[in-house]
Amino acid sequence: PEKKDLVEEVIERFTNARLLVNGVDADGNPYVEPAHDALVRGWQKLLEWKQDDEENLLLQRRLTPAAVEWNSQQQAKFLWHANPRLDLLKKVLNSENNWLNQVEAEFVRRSIARKSFNTRRNWGVAIAVMLGLGTGLVFSLIGQRDALIGQIKADRQAAEANLELSQELEASLASLRAAKSIKTEWILQLLKPNYELVNKVTVTLRTMVYKTREINQWNGKIVPKIGNNISLNSKGELMLAETNKNGNITLHNLSQNNYVQLEEHKGVIDSGIAFSRDGSLIATADQAGKIRLWNLEGNKITEFFTEFSDKKLGRYSPTLVFSKDGKQLAIVELYFTGSLGFRMIDTISLWDLSGDKPRRKQPSQNFESYKGIGFDANNQLVVAHTDLGGRSSDLHLSEFLSGKKLAVFKRNFEGFESTNLIFSSNGKQLIMFDRLAALDNQYWHENIPAINFTPSGNQIFYKKDSGIIGIANLDGRSLFEFKAQQGRITQIAFSLNGELLASAGTDDTIHLWNLIEKQLIKVPDQRAIQKSNIFGTVSNSINSVFKKEDHLFGSLYVRNSSGKLLFKTDSKKQNPYDAYSLSSDGTLLAALDSDSVHLWDSSGRHLLKFKAYENESIDNNKIMELKFSDDSSLLVIEQCDSIDYSIGDCTPFKYFQLETLDELILRGCNWVRDYLENNPNVEESDRHLCDNVNK
């Protein structure tokens, strides 16, 4: 009513001003219109109103008859639930400037409700269809997977049958088909086959590889024992450099579980290997006196000879030390003089690595009373030595290049072995002979053990013979300790940020520790986990292996916990085995005699015999033990004292790494490759069996 009165007042005023005129149409209905069209065209404000509401006016002209028709028919088909203008009308309905009348407003509400209902119904139908299709797809995939697994089982059984008939070629093709299907069929990558099937296929392929005459030889890796060269690179990854009897070096990235070979050596010396502080460079020295620099990818960067590498000098024992910035390399070379070779001299040289090729910074210096070297906080090489004239046994620290005397520590150091000098970041303290020393008062703290500084330099790390590592204040007060190794610690390495610590010990294990969280970080390499976690008991279903001394003297019988005989070996050995072990999955039995390792499969078939020792020195007073790792990937020979043997505490002597399924496929393919490529009678499905297997 208020708006009606206002409209009538406006019309009256406009009419009195002769801007509007009143009239009646043919049906007798009153109307109002502008007195002249020019008034409309010239009235700018009215034009703006008209333009602003033009869309609404057009919409209203279409909406009104539709709403009236729906109101009279009351049927859903007249609603605007499918009209694209419904969203705009919904905004009008919910706005303050709602120009809809009662019928139009109800029409819009019913249209919105109908659209919502249809949307829910359509989604329900769509979901039902998708579920139906998805279920069908899943069942289809499962069906394909089951069919493929059935084919794999058939191929494996065919391989086993051909092995029994000594038809090695047919057995090879069938076992390779089964193994390749497991490794390459996409559906089995999506829907994994069970472990039992993969295990059986691996056993069959391994049996084929080991039983085939042309390829019946040990091809697993002989894992070298852990040396004393570990490092943490700039990424915090654990690196290990190992030497073998041929003088080659294997560089392991234990965090990534891969390795590269550093070739070209002639008798690498264990002491002649060093990592740079950030772990990005490796320096090596061989018995010919050649120094080589390598990157972590195993690429040789440069090489050079030192002047004191003459073979006539007899025993040659170099020590390599990088500066903290990795731009210098100090080399300490030990050799003997005199006709009887009883006089020992250490020669020190310093090399600049920042140029295109290494450059000696100044002539080498000889030290008959050398005790150690190290780089200070300013990357200056410092040498520790007793009095060169032999007048006292005090320890002198001098800068190598300038000869400047830095400190003298008053004590008898004559009988001490050589040491690394480790300087704190502030240059006020250093560590030598595993003890803390102060440079300002030139005092060596015999009662404060230390092996390195924390990054801040305000605390120290120390170790104990029992395998414990601790952190202490500079006054020696311990803050906390943790058990790092089961035996004596032989080497420790720190990451650049000081958050990670790697330790190696006489128990032949390497551990990686997070010092911030005080937690052990598991490293993929088997040997980097505590021995108690590596070599455990076998599974519950197969847990007893023993010798039966009857007419099959020396044969091995395998029984389960109930005493049921599972299998026995077919060997008629005249002498008993020294040791034996069953893999945790029950697929391999290993036995050790005086010089060889024997392998049998779970049916008792003898697979392989290979040399257990290659020029290693065997202590006849030791008891030899044989064990599989928990995942059956490693076989270890252990040496045990009689006392240790009774409590199961033995020292690993030699490791053998068994071949993976991929490696077995490679060996099998290498044997049948020529046959597949050149024999015209090969089925087309088999001809490309090994195409994507690298030679």
- In the three-class reduction of DSSP (H, G, I as helix; E, B as strand; rest coil), residue 175 is classed as helix
pLDDT of residue 197: 87
| Beta bridge partner(s), residue 258 | 253
Beta strands in 456-509 (DSSP E): 459-463, 468-473, 478-483, 489-494, 500-505
Mean pLDDT of 120-149: 76
User: Any idea which of 3-12, 77-86, 282-291, 540-549 has the lowest mean pLDDT?
Assistant: 540-549
- 535-658, what's its fold? Methylamine Dehydrogenase; Chain H (2.130.10)
Residue 260 CA: distances (Å) to CA of 149, 228, 251, 266: 37, 18, 5, 18
Token representation of residue 402: 């300038």
pLDDT of residue 153: 92
Q: What's the residue count for the chain?
A: 695
Residues 402-428 pLDDT 10s? 989 999 998 888 777 778 899 988 888
Q: Among 157, 220, 176, 195, which residue's Cα sits nearest to residue 607?
A: 220
- Return all residues near 178 (Cβ < 8 A) that are at least 6 apart: 152, 153, 155, 156, 159, 201, 204, 205
Mean pLDDT of 589-603: 81
Mean pLDDT of 597-602: 81
Q: Helix, strand, coil shares of the chain as percentages rounded to 5?
A: 30, 30, 40
Mean pLDDT of 165-188: 88
Q: In this structure, which amino acid lies at residue 637? A: I
Residue 323 CA: distances (Å) to CA of 238, 295, 331, 379: 20, 16, 11, 6
Mean pLDDT of 588-606: 80
Residues 438-472 pLDDT 10s? 998 899 998 899 988 887 778 888 888 788 888 88
Burial class (CB in 10 A: 0-12, 13-18, 19+), 484: buried
- In the three-class reduction of DSSP (H, G, I as helix; E, B as strand; rest coil), residue 482 is classed as strand
Q: Measure CA 403 to chain center.
A: 47
pLDDT of residue 218: 54
pLDDT of residue 125: 73
Mean pLDDT of 464-483: 85
Q: What is the DSSP letter of 526?
A: G
Distance CA 319, CA 289 (A): 11
- Given a contact cutoff of 8 angstroms between Cβ atoms, the answer to whether 407 and 399 are in contact is no
Whether pLDDT at 501 is above 80: yes
Residues 603-630 pLDDT 10s? 777 777 878 776 666 666 677 788 887 6
pLDDT of residue 539: 30
Q: In this structure, which amino acid lies at residue 10? A: V
Mean pLDDT of 183-201: 83
Token representation of residue 147: 């069919």
Distance CA 23, CA 320 (A): 114
Distance CA 83, CA 94 (A): 18
Distance CA 445, CA 436 (A): 5
Whether pLDDT at 536 is above 80: no
Q: In this structure, which amino acid lies at residue 110? A: R
Neighbours of 142 (CB within 10 A): 12
| Beta bridge partner(s), residue 244 | none
pLDDT of residue 432: 92
Distance CA 183, CA 592 (A): 33
pLDDT of residue 553: 42
Q: Give helix 661-678 / helix 195-211 axis angle, nearest 10°.
A: 60
pLDDT of residue 316: 60
- Given a contact cutoff of 8 angstroms between Cβ atoms, the answer to whether 578 and 533 are in contact is no
374 pLDDT tier (thresholds 50, 70, 90):
very high
Distance CA 15, CA 33 (A): 10
- In the three-class reduction of DSSP (H, G, I as helix; E, B as strand; rest coil), residue 52 is classed as helix
Of 148-157, 215-224, 628-637, 684-693, highest mean pLDDT: 148-157
pLDDT of residue 546: 37
| Beta bridge partner(s), residue 261 | 250
* Residue showing tokens 């333009």: 51
Q: In this structure, which amino acid lies at residue 118? A: N
Top-confidence residue, 398 or 390: 398
Strands 623-628 and 634-640: antiparallel
Whether pLDDT at 388 is above 50: yes
pLDDT of residue 417: 77
Domain boundaries, the chain: 1-38, 455-532, 535-658
Burial class (CB in 10 A: 0-12, 13-18, 19+), 18: exposed
What's the predicted TM-score (pTM) here? Answer: 0.48
Strands 478-483 and 588-592: unpaired
Torsion of CA 152, 155, 161, 164, to 10 degrees: -90
Distance CA 82, CA 112 (A): 9
CATH 2.40.10.480 fits 455-532, yes or no: yes
Residues 254-277 pLDDT 10s? 777 777 877 665 555 656 788 888
Residues 301-343 pLDDT 10s? 898 887 654 444 445 667 889 998 889 999 888 765 554 444 4
527 pLDDT tier (thresholds 50, 70, 90):
very low
Q: What is the rounded end-to-end Cα distance, in angstroms, of the chain?
A: 96
376 pLDDT tier (thresholds 50, 70, 90):
very high
152 pLDDT tier (thresholds 50, 70, 90):
very high
Strands 478-483 and 468-473: antiparallel
- Given a contact cutoff of 8 angstroms between Cβ atoms, the answer to whether 203 and 601 are in contact is yes
Q: In this structure, which amino acid lies at residue 334? A: L
Neighbours of 527 (CB within 10 A): 24
Distance CA 601, CA 159 (A): 15
Residue 594 CA: distances (Å) to CA of 300, 579, 620, 623, 646: 41, 10, 11, 12, 21
Average pLDDT, the chain: 76
22 pLDDT tier (thresholds 50, 70, 90):
confident
